[in-house]
Structure 1
Amino acid sequence: MYTSQRSLLFPGAALGKGAPPAAPAWGRSVLIDTPDGETLHALHSPAEDDRPTVLFFLGNADNVDHYRFLSDALARRGVGLLALSYRGYGGSTGRPGEAGLLVDGLAAYDWLAASGQVRVVLLGQSLGSAVAVHVAAERPARGVILVSAFDSALALARSFYPFLPVGPLIRDPFRSDLRIAKAVQPKLFIHGDRDGVIPVRFGEALFERAPEPKTFRLYAGYGHNDLWSSALVEDILAFADQTAGD
């Protein structure tokens, strides 16, 4: 379990090897350099003047190519989207790990800021919620949307493997519970009440630790992998409009 834990935590890295695609699925392909020497692939759809950009941190088994529907929906309202492929994932160099992914998140935010896109709303889903919390704690984003979030990977692992000494063995604990206090922006938590991958109690635990302002929205009848819907996209748009204005 110790030696295989990163292959379990970052399955998308094994699925997404190779160079960035010559013809991106949506938007345009961009490359982002990190301060520790990696080059990250991302897909970017720019915002219209004075409109916000959503910086999206995906789940651990996901791929940026899958989000044309989100890019199109945001673009119809003038909202931009930058979806990041973590180190070791499709088109990006390096190998994934907690420390590296947190660096990646800050590098993506800084790339947007250097491009003049200052109305940034963070969106993190599942594992990406931990990256979003870290970025919110370190950068002046306008708002944070956390979908299927958890308080820590350590707590999740302990619930899944109660028979193992998880504490001393886990390499990537992703302690959002220790970082969320510095995320002072408006926060929207969204969770499915039938989520069997990250049960709702882990999202509620992080919500309880989060400072105000914050809102928790429970989607009845939804699990972990079927949460994307027109309602979720509309919630993202409404929150971006509410938080990213002057």
Structure 2
Amino acid sequence: MKLLVRIVLLAVMALVIVYAGVVGYMYVNQRALQYDPTGAITLLADTPLRAAAAVSIVSGEGAINGWYQAPGAGKPLIIYLKGNAGSFSDEHKRFEQFVADGYGFLSFDYRGFPMSPGQISQAGILEDATAAFDWAQQKGFPIVIWGRSLGTGPASYVASVRDAKALLLETPFLSAATVGAERYPYLPVALVMQDQFEVNQWILDVDEPVLVAHGTGDRTIDVSNGQRVYDLAPNKDELWIVPGADHGDLWDRGIWQHATAFFERAMARP
């Protein structure tokens, strides 16, 4: 009997040591696990965006690099805050559609992503997004904010501390810690995660009308996140849930048509 107790205790100790090792590894390497900043850069000259310009915006002690084009008469400027993987320049087809319909745009890589030097962190991403908004605001155009995936974090934050005409959240998360806990329910994600992007808190201070778009087949951020973010928004406009759509499907499923109608409603408000 004593031998059995000893074996059980040794097994429990071994499990505790392994578990502590996993948690320790996650803590030390969490930003490498959380972000995916690698990827090729598409040159502006290799796109049809002939009237757009490459811009460098001071942020913190460095600068973020992106593209900008002014809107046509009566249209807003879209500040497009990218998702987690690669460079914003991968999404140039979206910008081409924006411009074709008369909208302006500003998009960029957060520090630590392909076109902008620096180290990735939540504080840096929020500072970069706020600096981009302040730079764009000086142009004098009405501004709408569009955040996608990771970008829904800084989009919600900026909308909570600045005044825009509208906030569009594409595949948002309630918080990064929520997504981590859903993926790894056996790990104390909320206790050790540094960059939690608390959209659930920031959205409470967003006065702008909000559109949330999500797909029921999203395997990266569960659709329940989008529903809960929308439920918390003080100024609800539309919740667009697309049956079967995965994390990267919404552009092909027609989000631009929903976005333009949303922006027109927002622009019509006093």
Instruction: Establish whether TM, by shorter chain, passes 0.5.
Output: yes
In 2, distance between residues paired with 1:67 and 1:168?
34
Name the residue aligned to 1:37.
Answer: 61
In 2, distance between residues paired with 1:135 and 1:43?
19
Query: Per-residue CA shift, 1:16-35, capped at 9, x if unaligned?
Result: 68xx957364432110101x
1:141/1:5 Cα in 2 relative to 1: closer, same or farther (>3 Å)?
Answer: same
Name the residue aligned to 1:218.
Answer: 241
Query: Per-residue CA shift, 1:125-183, capped at 9, x if unaligned?
Result: 11100110001001110000000001101111111111112122101011010111110
Aligned-pair identity in percent equals: 28
1:113 is matched by which residue type in structure 2? Q
47-56 vs 142-151, greater mean Cα deviation: 47-56
- CA-atom RMSD, angstroms? 1.8
Cα pair 1:24 1:65 within 8 Å, conserved: no
Deviation at 1:221, TM superposition (A): 2.2
2:56 is matched by which residue type in structure 1? L
In 2, distance between residues paired with 1:133 and 1:3?
27
Name the residue aligned to 1:195.
Answer: 218
Name the residue aligned to 2:112.
Answer: 88
Corresponding residue to 1:110 among 134, 142, 150: 134
Name the residue aligned to 2:12.
Answer: none
Corresponding residue to 2:45 among 23, 39, 46: 23
Cα pair 2:145 2:167 within 8 Å, conserved: yes
1:24/1:104 Cα in 2 relative to 1: closer, same or farther (>3 Å)?
Answer: farther
In 2, distance between residues paired with 1:3 and 1:101?
20
Larger radius of gyration between Structure 1 and Structure 2: 2
Name the residue aligned to 2:83.
Answer: 59
Cα pair 1:51 1:80 within 8 Å, conserved: yes
Q: Which residues of 2 match residues 150-189 of structure 1 at below 5 A?
A: 150-189=173-212
In 2, distance between residues paired with 1:79 and 1:22?
18
Deviation at 1:68, TM superposition (A): 2.5
1:22/1:230 Cα in 2 relative to 1: closer, same or farther (>3 Å)?
Answer: closer
1:79/1:162 Cα in 2 relative to 1: closer, same or farther (>3 Å)?
Answer: same
Q: Which residues of 2 match residues 133-152 of structure 1 at below 5 A?
A: 133-152=156-175
Corresponding residue to 1:131 among 133, 154, 178: 154
Deviation at 1:64, TM superposition (A): 1.8
Deviation at 1:50, TM superposition (A): 3.1
Deviation at 1:217, TM superposition (A): 0.6
Cα pair 2:86 2:114 within 8 Å, conserved: no
In 2, distance between residues paired with 1:22 and 1:105?
21
| Unaligned residue ranges in structure 1 (runs of 5+) | none
Corresponding residue to 1:74 among 87, 98, 102: 98
Task: Compute the TM-score of the two structures, normalised by the length of structure 2.
Answer: 0.84
Deviation at 1:206, TM superposition (A): 1.2
Cα pair 2:86 2:113 within 8 Å, conserved: no
Higher relative contact order (CA 8 A, sep 6+): 1
In 1, distance between residues paired with 2:159 and 2:44?
32
1:39/1:16 Cα in 2 relative to 1: closer, same or farther (>3 Å)?
Answer: farther
Cα pair 1:190 1:218 within 8 Å, conserved: yes
Cα pair 1:121 1:244 within 8 Å, conserved: no
Judging by fraction of residues, say which structure has more helix. 2
Cα pair 1:16 1:89 within 8 Å, conserved: no
Task: Compute the TM-score of the two structures, normalised by the length of structure 1.
Answer: 0.92
Aligned residues: 241
1:204/1:171 Cα in 2 relative to 1: closer, same or farther (>3 Å)?
Answer: same
In 2, distance between residues paired with 1:206 and 1:226?
20
In 2, distance between residues paired with 1:138 and 1:8?
29
Q: Secondary structure at the match of 2:27?
A: coil
